[in-house]
Amino acid sequence: MPAPKKTARRTLLVTSASLASLASLASVTLTAPAAVAAPSPSPSTSSSASASASASASKSPSATPPANMSTVGGARLGQPGAQVTLSNGAPVLPKDLTARSWIVADAESGEVLAAQNAHWRLPPASTLKMLFADTLLPRFPRTTAHKVVPSDLAGIGSGSSMVGIKENETYTVHDLWLGVFLRSGNDAVHVLSAMNGGVANTVKEMNEHAEELQALDTHVVSPDGYDASGQVSSAYDLTLFARSGLQKADFREYCSTVRAKFPGETKKNKKGKSTRGTFEIQNTNRLLTGDYDISQYQGIAGVKNGNTTNAGATFTGVAERNGKVLLVTVMNPEKNDHNEVYKETAALFDWGFQAAGKVTPVGELVAPKSAAQADAQPGANPSPGQAGGTGNGKASATPVATAAAGNGSGGMGIALAITGGLLVLLPAGAYVVNRRWPLPDLVRRRSRS
């Protein structure tokens, strides 16, 4: 299939297969029943087991979504049940979706193609680390070195996922972000929080940033997503965090990295000389890496997964196909099959790519407050989609992420690069109510020869 033509919005190189032809359907608006009951909590695998929680937000929430939810992004997004408006030729929603909450949105236009209980405030697990990263990535150059002291690792919840940071060892900021994104390391989150003035200050700044993004369903208590009383977010808000984070080259790099080397512990060899090796860490996003029961998703480029006792499995992903970039968030599938959150995400991606242009949007992803204010000023320039960690304040023009292949990977060898770029202002009048907030140019997966 030939690559899409260049547009003023972006250039995309596409290698996806042709979509199957779809049967024509009469235009219909669908509202599905309320979400099904959630399963019994299972041990945490991404953030941690739950701490003791008070009745509302920390304990496993009701199986029924609230009758009245936020209407940020559109009135239909505040209604319980599935919301979708199909036109001729549009496919029906996937069968057997069991998630309490989900959303399918165009990452650039912000149009919400379909959603279910998008504003249901639920425990977010480690998907909250997207907000953590979007808040703190600009603070420290990636080459900054930090020696870990015991207080940096204080307060990490029992059962937390860890990347393996050791006291009295020195790590770069780059190392720490790899630990956050690939291993969902709560130890890396706490070290970065300590560098940022402490956990309390980091939580405060995360809540402030959520408000700036108009993610009003979110209340942060613990920066790592560990189950905590009162800590909630929503599929809508998690999608806003991903969309904001993807404007930053560092964020795009880390969330799309499949594997990396992480510093080990300093030890003395037989000659008494201190040496420090490395060990490999791999991304726990199974749509990015694949698993025995699920393949790498064609066009996937991140973003973040999570799993705690109270939250269940959560995931936000971004993928591109045929020039279309979609964001999908899935929260807490009732079905507890292995990798179920990824399977339901993949089904929603498939539906979204087939349905794009054939459905009437049911809402929109709102722009940040500052973007709306800047757009209101004639001649205002957008800010670069670049995290401060690169140290030059300019968007990268070269690939920033590569998923290295290992020998004997059985078809797992791939190359993925996400090219940096600046945000683009559309012609006057086009960036209004449903504001287009383009992602930088993306280059997707291609099999290595």
Q: How many angstroms separate the CA atoms of 164 and 148, rounded?
A: 12
Q: How many angstroms separate the CA atoms of 292 and 285, rounded?
A: 13
Task: Tell whether the model's pLDDT for residue 356 goes beyond 70.
Answer: yes
Q: How many angstroms separate the CA atoms of 386 and 378, rounded?
A: 23
Q: How many angstroms separate the CA atoms of 238 and 218, rounded?
A: 9
- What pLDDT, on a 0 to 100 scale, did the predictor assign at position 147? 98
What pTM does this model have?
A: 0.76
**Portion of the chain with pLDDT greater than 70, in percent:** 69
In the structure, how many helices (H) and strands (E) does the chain have?
9, 15
Q: What angle do CA 28, 217, 286 make, to 5 degrees?
A: 75
**Which pair of structure tokens corresponds to residue 411?**
């078809």
**Portion of the chain with pLDDT greater than 90, in percent:** 65
Task: Tell whether the model's pLDDT for residue 360 goes beyond 50.
Answer: yes
| More confident call, 447 vs 178 | 178
What φ, ψ does residue 401 adopt, rounded to 5°? -140, 135
Overall size of the chain counted in residues: 449
Least confident of 17-21, 106-110, 139-143, 335-339: 17-21
Task: Tell whether the model's pLDDT for residue 445 goes beyond 80.
Answer: no
What φ, ψ does residue 213 adopt, rounded to 5°? -80, 0
- What pLDDT, on a 0 to 100 scale, did the predictor assign at position 370? 86
Task: Tell whether the model's pLDDT for residue 7 goes beyond 90.
Answer: no
Judge whether 156 and 184 are in contact, CB under 8 Å. Answer: no
Closest to 127 (Cα-Cα) out of 144, 148, 146, 103: 103
Question: Dihedral, CA atoms, 162, 345, 81, 48, nearest 10 degrees?
Answer: -10
Question: Once rounded to an integer, what is the mean pLDDT over residues 185-211?
Answer: 98
| pLDDT band with cut points at 50, 70 and 90 for residue 373 | confident
Q: How many angstroms separate the CA atoms of 115 and 363, rounded?
A: 9
Judge whether 38 and 334 are in contact, CB under 8 Å. Answer: yes
Least confident of 91-105, 206-220, 275-289, 404-418: 404-418
Q: How many angstroms separate the CA atoms of 283 and 183, rounded?
A: 6
| pLDDT band with cut points at 50, 70 and 90 for residue 377 | low
Judge whether 166 and 148 are in contact, CB under 8 Å. Answer: yes
Task: Tell whether the model's pLDDT for residue 375 goes beyond 90.
Answer: no
Q: How many angstroms separate the CA atoms of 237 and 121, rounded?
A: 9
Judge whether 228 and 222 are in contact, CB under 8 Å. Answer: yes
